Structure 1
Amino acid sequence: MYRMALMALIAGDVPGINRERCIKIAIVHDIAEAIVGDITPADGVLKVEKSRLEQAALNEMCNVLGGGMRGTFGNSNVLARELWREYEDNASLEANLVKDFDKVEMILQALKYETDEFFLSTAGKFQTEIGKSWAAEINSRRNSRLAKKLN
């Protein structure tokens, strides 16, 4: 979440994108994982069940954070649960961009750990020009590193 919020902060201006909203979405997008963990397709959990578990966890986290069922985020009048739902539903340009940041962050981890799985699972799935550009740069750096290892 932290890396993604930083990506939103340092990304160049994108027409029609609200940077502050991207930062907020990046911060709350995985809030449910604090309780349910990172449920991946490899876990074999049905999408409906994953959504139910994460929604319950989000409700619990909003209560823990002191916002009750409203779960307000900071001094903003935008609700944490609305930001989370926007991300989950891929309902805005900001959500698209943050989803790309999530994939970029994943392949940054893969670069660090040299795990092909992350690169393969995100290939061709970027929705925004920034996401595509950053992923291409990471892949280029990775390919250069791999080529040096072979030589």
Structure 2
Amino acid sequence: MDSRNLVEFLELVGRLKHMARTGWVLLKIPNPETISGHMYRMAMLSFLVDSKENLNREKIMQMTLIHDLAECIVGDITPHCGVTPEDKHRREDVAMQEICSLLGDKGSEMLELFREYEKQESSEARYVKDLDRLDLIMQAFEYEKRDQIPGKLQEFFTTQDGKIAHPSLKSIADQIITEREALFRIPNNV
């Protein structure tokens, strides 16, 4: 691999450390998480994969680390950005091709994993999608607690309701929701 290309790749990845996630910015959440912060927690969650399951934990971890990588070029496009899902996927695929072209042989492997995730072609890709959803509701719950705004981020729970399919991740999501509901029963949101 060419050293100049690797430096360019590192710069692109580095952008994600400073890019706040759009959904939180639009809602004026103070100090919102970055894209890389989101990807990091998802990667950490990949350790939850039970060795008895027929899932490749290494592949899951790799997918978590690249699933939003294209956003370093195209930005964090949400449904509120006025971009069709088809155009979003096209833009992200073009960006991933550009990013992966910097990495020689490793780039084609990364692009293949990204496309597998985008098309939800494997059990690992679907698990990573569930991790993405789980992290979203966990982050919303954390903001509601931190900023003392119970219920303000309901839309994130509503859009994910019933979508987490993996049993162990669904169990964690249910626990988050249980704890969130308990928060509403606390007098004066204390």
Q: How would you bin the TM-score normalised by the shorter chain?
A: 0.7 to 0.9
Are the aligned partners of 1:59 and 1:69 in contact in 2 as well (CA < 8 Å)? no
User: Of the candidates 140, 145, 162, which is equivalent to residue 124 of structure 1?
Assistant: 162
Cα deviation for residue 27 of structure 1 reads 0.6
Residue aligning to 2:87 = 49
Mark the CA change 1:139 to 1:13 in structure 2 (over 3 Å): closer, same or farther.
farther
TM-score w.r.t. structure 2 length? 0.69
Residue 71 (str. 1) matches residue 107 (str. 2): yes
For structure 1, list consecutive stretches of 5 or more residues without a partner in the other structure.
73-78
Cα 1:25/1:47, change in 2 over 3 Å = same
2:100 aligned residue (56, 62, 68): 62
Superposition deviation, residue 25 in structure 1: 0.7
Alpha-carbon separation, structure 2, partners of 1:87 and 1:149: 43
Normalised to the residue count of structure 1, the TM-score between the two structures is 0.86
- The equivalent residue for 1:75 is none
Change (3 A) 1:146 1:12: farther
Greater relative contact order structure (CA < 8 Å, 6+ sep): 1
**Take 1:113 and 1:84, find their aligned partners in 2: how far apart are those partners?**
29
Correspondence for 1:110 among 140, 149, 156: 140
Give the unaligned 5+ runs of structure 2.
1-38, 145-152
Q: Which structure 2 residues correspond to residues 1-150 of structure 1 after superposition, within 5 A? A: 1-13=39-51, 15-63=53-101, 66-68=102-104, 71=107, 79-114=109-144, 115-149=153-187
Q: Look up the equivalent residue of 1:51 and give its one-letter code.
A: H
Q: Which amino acid aligns with 2:180?
A: R
SS state at 2:59 partner: helix
Aligned residues between the structures = 143
Q: For the pair shown, which has the larger CA radius of gyration, 1 or 2?
A: 2
1:131, distance to aligned residue in structure 2 (A) = 2.2
CA drift at 1:82 = 0.9
CA 1:83 to 1:148, structure 2 compared with 1: closer, same or farther past 3 Å?
A: same
Distance in 1 separating the partners of 2:62 and 2:118: 14
